Copies of this chain bind each other. A is one copy, B any other.
């Protein structure tokens, strides 16, 4: 299958790397809104102007859209779905129903297939929540994120005057995770589930106290959390906090038995050195899935919930039954 990468940031580069691990996939090229001549890809795949993508319509099976959820994907995904099978990693939770409707309309009217919100959360974590809820109907599901870098929170710190660069780690509260893991089904506030660790390189003349207060009082991002702020040099930040690790756990604990006498716990945990490379691997598996589903005549917008596991695998159903069942 022939894949186009639309957007060449961290995720686009992750898709480029992940495609190397999937022998049934070929990257047609990177499509960018920047000047194509300004970009050199890591593997030498060609770079084209985003506006020229229609010229490659016959050469592309699925466009992997690697834009941002805030401003790019809401118009990019429905727009590209008019001419291509597409997949994105839209993660603006409250907007998913509207995004789904827009993408579904574009894809359905033109006979394409689309899948939104692929990756690990939304994505693999979402799937884990659905399986766990279906097999253990009575119980509670918890999601913990981290320890890992939140790009959105890091960006929010970078926008504060006097900040040169910053990295924010989301850290699950271990005692809360253990209480959930042990089937206690605790009631947890936002503050009790995660803490936030910030590493900030500030300008020499910056007011560090003011920066720290601005971070800790930032609504939505930090105000509801126990937040620690560490000022470090730009060199140290670049040296020790260059990676994009992440991960987390979905844990569901519930009761079975006629008198609810038994406790069952399901846990799905990811530990990732590279969030974008792993996310890209998940996206490509679902790209394979929708490509196959489109081959069977399916159109419209799908989510990770609509793809049977067999369609994600490079192995045949016979091989899966033999080696993985």
Residues of A that sit less than 8 Å from B by CB: 14, 17-18, 20-22, 42-43, 93, 96-97, 100, 117, 122, 124, 126-131, 133-138, 181, 183, 256-258, 261-274, 277-278, 280-282, 284-285, 288, 303-310, 312-315, 317-318, 320-322, 324-325
Contacts and interface: CB of A to CB of B under 8 A. Distances in A.
Contacts of A310: 130, 303, 305-306
A153 B72 CA distance: 57
A278 B303 CA distance: 27
Contacts of A264: 270-274, 277-278, 281
A322 B97 contact: yes
A167 B310 CA distance: 37
B273 A262 contact: yes
A35 to B, nearest CB: 24
Contacts of A137: 21-22, 281, 314
A107 B304 CA distance: 28
Given A97-B318, A122-B325, A322-B96, A256 B270 contact: no
Contacts of A126: 324-325
B18 A256 contact: yes
12 contacts: A21-B256, A130-B313, A131-B285, A131-B309, A131-B312, A134-B285, A257-B274, A257-B277, A262-B273, A264-B272, A265-B269, A305-B321
A97 B321 contact: yes
Contacts of A272: 262, 264-265
B136 A278 contact: yes
Contacts of A312: 130-131, 134-135
B274 A262 contact: yes
A134 B323 CA distance: 13
Contacts of A20: 258
B313 A309 contact: no
Nearest to A263: B273
B135 A131 contact: no
Contact of A134 (B129, B135, B314): B314
A78 to B, nearest CB: 16
Given A130-B310, A130-B313, A256-B278, 19 more contacts: A22-B137, A42-B258, A43-B258, A93-B325, A97-B322, A126-B324, A127-B131, A129-B324, A130-B320, A134-B288, A134-B312, A137-B281, A262-B277, A267-B267, A267-B271, A303-B310, A305-B321, A305-B324, A306-B317
